[in-house]
Every structure is written in structure tokens, then in C-alpha cells.
């Protein structure tokens, strides 16, 4: 009996998730058509000033540049175990890490400008990697383009999905001429991010429930440029954190000597700093060393936009054995655990494994994959919100540091049977997020019980000694 031919696959969205998902499919012999709303991020977009402002051409070029800028605005990311495992499935892990800067802990800044490293894990080999979103995205697209030559992959940029049907056929609006390009029935992956149009279309023809919850806090990006000699102005081996009770600033190193910083805070607060003087005063009072690192901080602050943060939940992620949502389209999370892309790459790995286990029977693989995965990503959504409080407030709290020390000591004694921290379990293992959380909650409870038992014994011993003293 000959194996039935593999169906064609349409991938919507060529962000990190769509690019890796398409690569894994192409490597398994599928023919994949990838449609992306934006222009190819690898192609330089002409600056608006090259065309006369106000002219039709000038406006078109300006709008193209805006689209590209909006994409580039997006940050550098920490790549860790789960993301690396997804890349390894495509044989790309080692090459990808060449593009990244290793970070091995939190670098906590105090008001006096002192910096203290809190390693992420007692094992110095367990590190995260800082990488630009555009860098990894463009590099994955390069890998995907290699399959264009053998006809396995076709990339369509400037194509926006406008209609998706349950049989996997879809309509795309081509930005260059506004014409519609329709694709025939196929398997279709919705990798089109937080505001997924594929998800909306699926909900039109099925009982797909969707929630998108904004948090009160938002973020703004800032940049620390390299020192005059081209090197980093601060140690590049960590994620720098300037903690605060209401706001927090972080900085991740880039390979070119710069740092990308992100200030997180209540939207009302972020918007309340409206003049260079108010910005300068806030940073001078809160984190004085930042003004030395970024002499143009007030100008950057006023120039760069504030962006919102949200959590996406939806269910089910699949329809008819034909359609599936992956990455942020299925489960966008706030960025405080640095897991959004890692989780999306792990989606790609687990979906690839599920298809392999089910002999490429999508009808079976889609429900199994989604049901298990959703439990994990629901847990991640909560963990990501909780970690904001940890990064903002607890990294300097004595009880938090004592708890970390106790867990690390037990990990030293018991090895892999005791996780050194929830952060390690989330960042450096493949335990499903819900299991990582359950394990660490159990460990915390054990620690509290042990503490209570030791306290009770100490009180009992003290009381006994006192009674003996009285009896004498």
C-alpha cells in the first residue's frame, strides 16, 4: 500500500511561529505556502524622505516604512530551553545561538548604581540568550527561502488574510494592487499573532470562544548605545533590572554593543511624563544611573510610543481537522516570563511530534495536540502575570532571596528531584508549564511544612528546657 500524498499547507503569518512551523512542515515533505501581511523584513524599505511628501508615491512609501517600523519596534527577546528545542527539531539550534548573546542571570541595579548578579540557575551552563526579534525572524525566513528553490515553499509578502473557510481555503488581499488572491482547500495554520484574523474567521463558523485581556500596565522601548570603543556600557552577561514598586526598567544586550531597554509601568503613569524635564526628574530620582547610560533618555522617552500588553485565550484552537492556531494567535501572554516565542517554538515542536505519532493524520493530531497544550499555556498565562510582581518587587526582598537559597540548597542535595526555582523549571526544562507550576507549588508547601515542623520542634525544645529549669 502506498502512503497517501501529503496535503498542501497554507501558513498565515511569517513571524517567528509561522516561519518555524513552515520550516518543519517543508522538512517533512509538505508543500507550504506562507502568506504574510507585512513586507519582507529582510528587504530594506526606502525612507519616506526619498519621495516627495504629500505626493501619492510619497504617502505610499511612508506607509510602507510605517509598517516596517511597527514590526521592527518589537524588541529583543530571551531565547531559552523550550525555544531552542523547537529550533533543534529543525536542526537549527546551534546556528541560531550564534546570533544571540548569552545572559546568565538578573543584574539588579540599586539606587547607588551598584549592580548585583543573581544567576538564573545554580548550574552555570543554564543560560538564556538575548536575540532581536527581527534578527531571528529574518534568519528563519532565510532558512525557509532555501526551500523555495526545491518548490516546497512559496512566500507571499504583502498579503493580508481576509477570509478563511472550514475546508482551509482562504482569501488574501494583495497590498500592492488591492486584488484578492484565493487559495484552494488545504490544511491551514493561523500563526498571525495576538490579533489573529484566522481566529476571528474560525469563530465565525464554529463555537470558538475568545478572550483578549489587557493589563493596566504597558511598555515603552529605549536604547543604550554602545560605548565610544564599541563595547557594552554595562556587563553583557545578564538581564539588567532596575526594580521599582510601580515601574520597572529592564535591558537586554545586543551583539553590537547596545542594549535594548524596556520600561514597564501603569499606562497612566507612562503617559503622565510629558516633558523632557519631567522625564529627567523621574529617572534622576528613581534610577539615577540610567541618565548616564542614556544621555538622550528624555528625548527617546518622548519620541517612542507606549505599547499595550495583553493575554489571549481561546478554545478550541482547531477546526475540522483542517485549521489550527499556533503561537500568539492561540495563546498570547504578557512578556514577563520571556516565554511567548519560546512557547510558540515549543508549539511547533510538539505539533510536529503529534503529527509524527499520528502518521500525519491531522484529524487525530489537532485535537490531541491542542487539548494537552492548552492546559500548559493557560498555566503560562498566569505565571507570566505573577512574574511581573517577582521581577518588579521581590528580586530585592530578603524573604524571596532566602526562599531561593533554600530551594537551591535542596536542589544541590537532591539533584533533578528538586527544582531550584519555578523560574528554572519554566525556563530550563521541558516540563509542561502546568506541571512545572504544580511541582514548585508542592515544593513551596513542603518548605513551609518543614519550616513549621522545625519551628515547632524549636519551640517545644525551648519550652521543655524552661520547664526543667523551673523544676530545679
Ligand X SMILES: Cc1cc2nc3c(=O)[nH]c(=O)nc-3n(C[C@H](O)[C@H](O)[C@H](O)COP(=O)(O)OP(=O)(O)OC[C@H]3O[C@@H](n4cnc5c(N)ncnc54)[C@H](O)[C@@H]3O)c2cc1C
Residues near ligand X, by CB under 6 A: 12-18, 35-38, 75, 77-78, 83, 133, 160-161, 191-194, 197, 219, 262, 327-328, 335, 338-342, 344
User: Whose Cβ is closer to ligand X: residue 224's or residue 410's?
Assistant: 224
Measured from the CB atom, is 271 or 292 closer to ligand X?
271
Find the shortest distance in angstroms from Cβ 84 to ligand X.
Answer: 11
Cα 375 to Cα 248: distance, rounded to the nearest angstrom: 30
| CB-nearer residue toward ligand X: 338 or 420 | 338
Q: Least separation, in Å, of the C-beta of 166 and ligand X?
A: 18
Least Å distance, CB 78 to ligand X, is: 4
Nearest residue (CB) to ligand X, 193 versus 265? 193
Least distance (Å) between residue 353 CB and ligand X: 19
Identity of the residue, 161 or 376, whose beta carbon is nearer to ligand X in the bound complex: 161
**With respect to ligand X, which residue has the nearer C-beta, 33 or 443?**
33
State which residue, 323 or 341, has the beta carbon closest to ligand X.
341
Choice between 34 and 61, CB closer to ligand X: 34
Task: Supply the minimum distance, in Å, between the C-beta of residue 76 and ligand X.
Answer: 7
Rounded to 10 deg, the angle between the 16-27 and 133-145 helix axes is: 30
**What is the side-by-side order of every strand in the sheet holding 9-12?**
153-156, 32-35, 9-12, 187-190, 323-325, 318-319
Q: Contact, 361 vs 213, CB < 8 A?
A: no
Closest CB to ligand X among residues 311, 443 = 311
Least Å distance, CB 143 to ligand X, is: 15
> For strand 153-156 and strand 32-35, is the pairing parallel, antiparallel, or unpaired?
parallel
Task: Report, in angstroms and rounded to the nearest whole number, the Rg of the chain calculated over CA atoms.
Answer: 25
Minimum distance from residue 402 beta carbon to ligand X (Å): 27
**Nearest approach, Cβ of residue 401 and ligand X (Å):** 23
Instruction: Compute the least distance from the CB of residue 342 to ligand X, in Å.
Output: 4
At its nearest, how many Å lie between ligand X and the CB of residue 334? 8
Q: CA 54, 58, 62: angle at the middle one, nearest 5?
A: 110
Residue 105 or 327: the one with the smaller Cβ distance to ligand X is 327
Alpha carbon of residue 431 to chain centroid: 17
Closest approach, Cβ 452 to ligand X, in A, equals 37
- Considering only the C-alpha atoms of the chain, give the largest distance between any 2 of them, rounded to a whole number of Å: 102
Q: Which residues pair with 346 in a beta bridge?
A: none
Nearer to ligand X, 217 or 407 (CB): 217
Minimum distance, C-beta of residue 152 to ligand X, in the bound complex (Å): 20
What's the rounded Cα separation, in Å, for the pair 143 and 140? 5
Q: Which is nearer to ligand X, 80 or 419 (CB)?
A: 80
Dist CA 8 CA 170 (whole Å) = 13
Amino acid at each position: 500500500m502506498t502512503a497517501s500524498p501529503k496535503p498542501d499547507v497554507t501558513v498565515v503569518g511569517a513571524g517567528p511561529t509561522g516561519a518555524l512551523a513552515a520550516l518543519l512542515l517543508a522538512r517533512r515533505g509538505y508543500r507550504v505556502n506562507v502568506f504574510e501581511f507585512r513586507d519582507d523584513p529582510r528587504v530594506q524599505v526606502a525612507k519616506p524622505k526619498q519621495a516627495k511628501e504629500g505626493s501619492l508615491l510619497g504617502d505610499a512609501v511612508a506607509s510602507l516604512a510605517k509598517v516596517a517600523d511597527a514590526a521592527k519596534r518589537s524588541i529583543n527577546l530571551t531565547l531559552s530551553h523550550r525555544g531552542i528545542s523547537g529550533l533543534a527539531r529543525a536542526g537549527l539550534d546551534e546556528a541560531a545561538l550564534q546570533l544571540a548573546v548569552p545572559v546568565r542571570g538578573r543584574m539588579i541595579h540599586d539606587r547607588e548604581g551598584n549592580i548585583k548578579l543573581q544567576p538564573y540557575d545554580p548550574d552555570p551552563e543554564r543560560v538564556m540568550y538575548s536575540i532581536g526579534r527581527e534578527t531571528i525572524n529574518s534568519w528563519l525566513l532565510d532558512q525557509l527561502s532555501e526551500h523555495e528553490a526545491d518548490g516546497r515553499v512559496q512566500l507571499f509578502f504583502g498579503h493580508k488574510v481576509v477570509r478563511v473557510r472550514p475546508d482551509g481555503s482562504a482569501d488574501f488581499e494583495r497590498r500592492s494592487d488591492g486584488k484578492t488572491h484565493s487559495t484552494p482547500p488545504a490544511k491551514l495554520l493561523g500563526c498571525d499573532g495576538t490579533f489573529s484574523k484566522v481566529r476571528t474567521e474560525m469563530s465565525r463558523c464554529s463555537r470558538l470562544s475568545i478572550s483578549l485581556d489587557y493589563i493596566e500596565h504597558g511598555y515603552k522601548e529605549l536604547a543604550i548605545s554602545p560605548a565610544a570603543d564599541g563595547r557594552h556600557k554595562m556587563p553583557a552577561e545578564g538581564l539588567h533590572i532596575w526594580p521599582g514598586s510601580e515601574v520597572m526598567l529592564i535591558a537586554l544586550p545586543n551583539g553590537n554593543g547596545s542594549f535594548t531597554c524596556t520600561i514597564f509601568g501603569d499606562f497612566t503613569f507612562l503617559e503622565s511624563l510629558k516633558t523632557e524635564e519631567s522625564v529627567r526628574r523621574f529617572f534622576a530620582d528613581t534610577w539615577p544611573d540610567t541618565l548616564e547610560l542614556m544621555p538622550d533618555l528624555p528625548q527617546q522617552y518622548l519620541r517612542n510610543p507606549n505599547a499595550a500588553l495583553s493575554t489571549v485565550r481561546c478554545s478550541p484552537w482547531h477546526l475540522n481537522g483542517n485549521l489550527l492556531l499556533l503561537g500568539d494567535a492561540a495563546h498570547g501572554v504578557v512578556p514577563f516570563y520571556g516565554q511567548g516565542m519560546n512557547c510558540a517554538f515549543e508549539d511547533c515542536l510538539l505539533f510536529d511530534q503529534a503529527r509524527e505519532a499520528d502518521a500525519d493524520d491531522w484529524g487525530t493530531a489537532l485535537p490531541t495536540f491542542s487539548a494537552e497544550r492548552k492546559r500548559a499555556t493557560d498555566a503560562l498565562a498566569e505565571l507570566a502575570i505573577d512574574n511581573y510582581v517577582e521581577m518588579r518587587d521581590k528580586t530585592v526582598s530578603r524573604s524571596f532571596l532566602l526562599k531561593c537559597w533554600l530551594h537551591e540548597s535542596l536542589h544541590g542535595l537532591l539533584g533533578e528531584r528538586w527544582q531550584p526555582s519555578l523560574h528554572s523549571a519554566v525556563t530550563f526544562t521541558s516540563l509542561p508549564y502546568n506541571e512545572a507550576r504544580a511541582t514548585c507549588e508542592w515544593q513551596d508547601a513542603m518548605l513551609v511544612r518543614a519550616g513549621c515542623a522545625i519551628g515547632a520542634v524549636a519551640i517545644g525544645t525551648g519550652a521543655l528546657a524552661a520547664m526543667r529549669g523551673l523544676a530545679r
